C-alpha cells in the first residue's frame, strides 16, 4: 500500500487501483510519499487491504 500525496489530500492506494488510474496520477503529478505494509490500512478506492489476516 502506498501513501500518495494528491491535490485533494493524502490517500492510501493499493497497487492494483493505482495502476488503474495511472494516467490521472501522472496528469495531476501525484507523489508517492512512502510504502507500508499494515493489515489495518485500506485502499480508498476498493476498501481492501494489501495483507489478509487469517484468524
User: pLDDT (tens digit, 9 = 90+) per residue, 19-45?
Assistant: 999 999 999 999 999 999 888 899 999
Question: Residue 54: pLDDT above 70?
Answer: no
Task: Give how many domains the chain has, as a whole number.
Answer: 1
Give dist(CA 34, CA 49) in Å, integer.
Answer: 16
Give dist(CA 53, CA 55) in Å, integer.
Answer: 6
What is the number of other CB atoms lying within 10 angstroms of the CB of residue 39? 10
What's the grid cell of residue 50?
A: 494489501
Q: Which domain holds residue 4?
A: 1-55
Q: What is the pTM of this model?
A: 0.83
Q: Determine contact, residues 2/12, Cβ cutoff 8 Å.
A: yes
Amino acid at each position: 500500500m502506498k501513501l500518495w500525496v494528491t491535490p485533494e489530500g493524502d490517500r492510501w492506494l493499493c497497487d492494483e487501483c493505482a495502476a488503474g488510474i495511472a494516467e490521472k496520477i501522472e496528469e495531476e503529478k501525484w507523489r508517492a510519499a512512502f510504502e507500508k505494509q499494515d493489515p489495518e490500512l485500506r485502499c480508498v478506492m476498493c476498501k481492501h487491504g494489501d495483507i489478509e489476516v487469517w484468524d
